[in-house]
Amino acid sequence: MSVISVPQAFNEEELYVDLESIFGHSLLLKCEGFNFAGSIKLKAAAEMVASAERDGSLTSDSILIESSSGNLGVALSMIAASKGYRFVCVTDSRCNLATRLMMEVLGSEVHVVAGQETNGGLLGARLEHVRRMCATDDRCVWLSQYTNEANWKAHYRTTAPEIARSFPDLDVLFVGTGTTGTLMGCARYFRDQDRPVRIIAVDSVGSVAFGGAPSRRMIPGLGMSMRPPLLDESYVDEVIRVEEADTIRTCRRLARQGFLFGGSTGTVVSGSIGWLAEHGAQELTAVAIAPDLGERYLDTIYHDNWVQDLYGGDSLDDTELAPAHSVVDGPAR
């Protein structure tokens, strides 16, 4: 029996879903959405807040502020409510309605900014809004998930050791990339432990995190419109880029088997299954990290009209996934 007094004290660490019966390839999905924040971002949020408290930058009079496409905002809203901090989340139009409402119910203030896809895109507009707020109110404490080393250290301390304990013979690890906190924490851990684990980053087509041309991205969570400051490509063996239409098909196929996952998870699974199919890797021990669950995507990924309007009717057909549409880059090191 577990008894807790603060919501951030609970996080399911050892739940995996075997996807072989669904996709025909052995892939173990580490489910990180079973906590009160509903995503893996709880780990980074807790570590960044604790670090700011330790160094004295965060006090009872502070106003926490952060740019987030959704999940980190919910995690920080929950922690702020628990600890009595005021929190302002700066997000954009791609943030799901359910996510915005959840942050507000938890007592946070949500600022939705608009911006052009050029000159830094929506992320650039969010960051500029944060900078203006910090410049006008010295109570603001910007955690800056994009540059904060506590982001990747959270996963170095928790996520990676959890996987290592469960799979001492792990061959390949698939990690979705946004700020690259999860990716860098896990990659650094396995390198430091001298474990020969192949680290594969899964990104969205249209993201420029690993270079390439930017293009429209409508599903929040993974991908960046700038190079992540935390990223060190020397720790990454390969990069896979997944089309958002394939993310949607994968999410819907999982849902037809009773597993309701979020967009970030659909992207990671689509890229992982594509890689395993291409490499004929039936004998490998392969793990993928599922960052979130799917309830917050009911009005987007799981809404037929939304999908048809943005991606066309073919994206509703989950009987034939298209991993070949993913772009697989060669070794990064």
pLDDT digits (tens, 9 = 90+) for 78-130: 999 999 999 999 999 889 899 999 999 999 999 999 865 445 678 889 999 99
Per-residue pLDDT band for 306 (boundaries 50, 70, 90) equals very high
Q: Which residues pair with 241 in a beta bridge?
A: 203, 327
pLDDT digits (tens, 9 = 90+) for 239-265: 999 999 999 999 999 999 999 999 999
- Average pLDDT of the chain? 92
Q: Which of 104, 245, 233 is nearest to 177 (CA)?
A: 233
pLDDT of residue 265: 97
Q: How many residues does the chain have?
A: 333
Query: Average pLDDT, stretch 62-84?
Result: 96
Tokens standing for residue 14: 């050892």
The distance of Cα 120 from the centroid of its chain, to the nearest Å, equals 20
Q: Kindly list the distances between the CA atom of residue 109 and the CA atoms of 68, 91, 102, in Å, as whole numbers in the listed order.
A: 13, 11, 11
User: CA-to-CA distance for 222 and 49, rounded, in angstroms?
Assistant: 22
For 7-35+151-326, CATH gives 3.40.50.1100
Q: Where are the domains of the chain?
A: 7-35+151-326, 41-142
Write down the residue that tokens 């390969």 correspond to.
238
Q: Please count the CA atoms within 13 angstroms of the CA of 303 that sit on its side-chain side.
A: 13
- The predicted model gives 14-21 an average pLDDT of 97
In this chain, the answer to whether the domains covering 7-35+151-326 and 41-142 adopt an identical fold is yes
Rounded Cα distance, 285 and 276, in Å: 11
The rounded distance, in Å, linking the Cα atoms of 146 and 150 is: 10
> H/E element holding 73?
helix 71-83
Q: Do residues 165 and 287 make contact, with C-beta atoms less than 8 angstroms apart?
A: no
Backbone φ/ψ region at 62: left (φ over 0), alpha (ψ -120 to 50), beta: beta
Contact 231, 185 (CB under 8 A): no
Pick the CATH number of 41-142 from 3.30.70.640, 3.20.20.140, 3.30.420.40, 3.40.50.1100: 3.40.50.1100
- Among candidates 79, 182, 89, 72, which has minimal Cα distance to 133? 89
276 pLDDT higher than 90: yes
Please state, in angstroms and as integers, the Cα–Cα distance from residue 49 to each residue in 155, 233, 273, 313, following that order: 15, 27, 35, 43
